A and B are shown apart, each in its own frame.
Chain A
């Protein structure tokens, strides 16, 4: 168990290093001139050159990379071009609302996806199964921002149940929770569908196992059998929660824009439109690393639900 945890922890380091490297080279080293992409086709040669110097693009790539890594180790990802504040500080200040939103949506996805998947599996082939699968396939087929727009019209405009914008009043937890409901549900649509489909196939697989047939034959109560089934289906489901979270973090950008919520999404969009390179890079890295860390936590939880790993 300890060895397992240690091996997981150690694996995080090369992953993060790799991500940093890939983020750096994807954004900088591919053919094409970021300076032109940033300043547009009408920029003067002087302006392009100034920007290249400002971003260090005039240096050889390995020098740039060295400088970047050195800054990173010191927790310094440069300064935002607009606010002149350290990019890292800006990103960290809006990280909590984004993680909160993604976390809530994953929670909803688990709480809704598990029962839907189990019911589908138990009633396989029935109209209930069919209906639930149609609903869940819509969950991954409609654009999340479009679902958000429709939800605003339905539940903030037509029926005035939830606020259309913002994240609630500062310091007022109740209003913040109230404002969280719609965006979290919208963001959860994809994850719910994903977990429901996975639960369904995991349960079907387990229900087919010989020991389940034996249990059934021995006359053990259905509810108890179901409980065994769920316990055995949990490891693969826990395995996809990390993916669900990663997808939620990506889609949170769209949902935050739709609901005018503060967070990394709005920050990344703002950085994108004002071509704030350092801020964009910091946002991408912090979000991606948070995904890695959440996966690490899930990995460490894995032995709790899967006895085979414990050994």
Chain B
């Protein structure tokens, strides 16, 4: 438990130094997460260059072709290339994941820090609000939002971000609460460093790892929520290629042409697994408790 003791005594080393010191390269989960996430991002960015066919052009003569050289994952009922649709679909998913991650991170950090630092009534009110938002089932809130405000990519992003910002905020607040009483913060106050500067220099760097983990999880959830809304017909409207739409369009052919829905489901799972493993891995490698625990498992 030596690490926690030192962390309490002095400002922690920067995120980068800690990352370099950790055996993150040996963490299989983290590496898998990084590889999957990088792949996800690359596919989304380069998809249009890689796609062998136009994702929208129909060719009824060629409908429901099996996977082959021309069509890697076959064609759907309109004769559109499923592989190309998945490549293009990655863009919508990445856009949703990034936007939700960024929005929930930014808003959550601001709200959480404000609550944690201000204390008193501000804290109580903000905490109450956060807890109320947390009480809503996330997907239900997103669904109701999209139902009333119309189904578009922007509304899907807004809906999921609203559901996930409080999750980041509550973690941020907790982190601030633990950092604030530490000696170096008290010392900074004592010598008259402005609050914003303290937040920027000391609180943010220390709180980022757990908050990033939560933001990663919310990005992962966003990919699933987008797919779920598309499945219900409330996401990005067809014929736009999104992974959720491809699953839905493949649903009547699950028995006879299963590769359509299977490949889209697998794409979603790969992206979400990547984000989840990335989040887990970051937490594992940056959290001194978990890093050392292997040696103390008494049943080994």
Contacts and interface: CB of A to CB of B under 8 A. Distances in A.
Contacts of B224: 143-144
A125 interface: yes
A287 B140 contact: yes
B276 A140 contact: yes
B291 to A, nearest CB: 12
A205 B297 CA distance: 9
Interface in A138-160: 138, 140-146, 149-150, 152-153, 157
B268 A142 contact: yes
Contact of B299 (A19, A122, A287): A122
A207 B276 contact: no
Given A19-B132, A201-B290, A272-B147, 10 more contacts: A14-B128, A18-B132, A22-B136, A34-B149, A124-B293, A143-B247, A146-B247, A247-B138, A249-B140, A284-B141
A284 B293 contact: no
B43 to A, nearest CB: 17
Contacts of A253: 139-140, 143, 232
Contacts of B138: 246-247, 250
A222 B137 contact: no
Interface stretch (A24-32, A62-70, A180-188): A24-32
Contact of A250 (B131, B137, B251, B261): B137
Interface residues of B, number: 53
B150 interface: yes
Interface in A272-293: 272-273, 277, 280-281, 284, 287-288, 291-292
Contacts of A140: 220, 272, 276
Nearest to A204: B293
B135 A19 contact: yes
Interface in B248-300: 251, 254-255, 258, 261-262, 265, 268-269, 272-273, 276-277, 289-290, 293-294, 296-300
Contacts of A143: 224, 227-228, 231, 244, 247, 265, 268-269
B41 interface: no
Contacts of A141: 220, 268-269, 272-273, 276
A15 B144 contact: no
Interface stretch (A86-94, A167-175, A208-216, A298-306): A208-216
B136 A157 contact: no
Interface string A197-234: 00001001101100011001000001000000000000
A142 B258 CA distance: 16
B117 interface: no
Contacts of A207: 296-299
